Amino acid sequence: MRWHSQIWRSLSTSSRLGITSRWVIPRMLPSASAGSAQVTSMRSTIPLSNRRLVAVLGAITMSTLAPTSGGAVPNSATMTCTNPVSGANWKIRIDFAKSTVDSNPARINDANISWRDLTAGGKYTLDRKSGKLTVVVASSTGGYFLYDLCKPD
């Protein structure tokens, strides 16, 4: 059997199986008999209607797994932090979407939010459960620690 007639048979078999694609790419498989080869289609033999169903189900699954903007985590939060000794307070703004605190890059996880403020020269760690803020300021004489308390606005 000639090669082109094998391709034609592969195309007609694909049509009978419900594959409506215009292109069916044949591939040659060695046959048991010498001098001949078997042509099979690389195209899936799943009917088109089933392939559409699988694609729709996959899209629905992916859309349910994707995070939504109205989820439990807000995009940003503003907190008021207070020094318990002096009573001084200030506000910090946490942007969860950009992972920043007052425009400084931050590491945000379930337990802590930590960031470094280059202008004030401190390293900050906020405990998300208790609201305790630890500030570490390094200096040539050893540095110091500050312990503050933050509450959401």
Chain segment 34-45, per-residue pLDDT in tens: 555 555 555 555
Query: Average pLDDT of the chain?
Result: 74
Asked if 117 and 130 touch (Cβ cutoff 8 Å), the reply is no
In angstroms, what is the C-alpha Rg of the chain?
32
**In this model, does residue 88 exceed pLDDT 50?**
yes
Q: Average pLDDT, stretch 88-116?
A: 94
Least confident of 42-46, 107-111, 114-118, 129-133: 42-46
Q: What is the pTM of this model?
A: 0.52
The confidence band for 118, taking pLDDT boundaries of 50, 70 and 90, is confident
The residue with greater pLDDT, 54 or 45, is 54
The three-class DSSP label of residue 53 is: helix
**In this model, does residue 95 exceed pLDDT 80?**
yes
Q: Of the spans 34-38, 53-57, 146-150, which averages the highest pLDDT?
A: 146-150
Q: Tokens 């946490």 belong to which residue?
A: 94
pLDDT of residue 139: 87
Please give the Cα distance from 25 to 108 (Å, whole number).
50
The residue with greater pLDDT, 105 or 48, is 105
Q: Average pLDDT, stretch 68-79?
A: 70
pLDDT of residue 129: 94
**In this model, does residue 22 exceed pLDDT 50?**
no
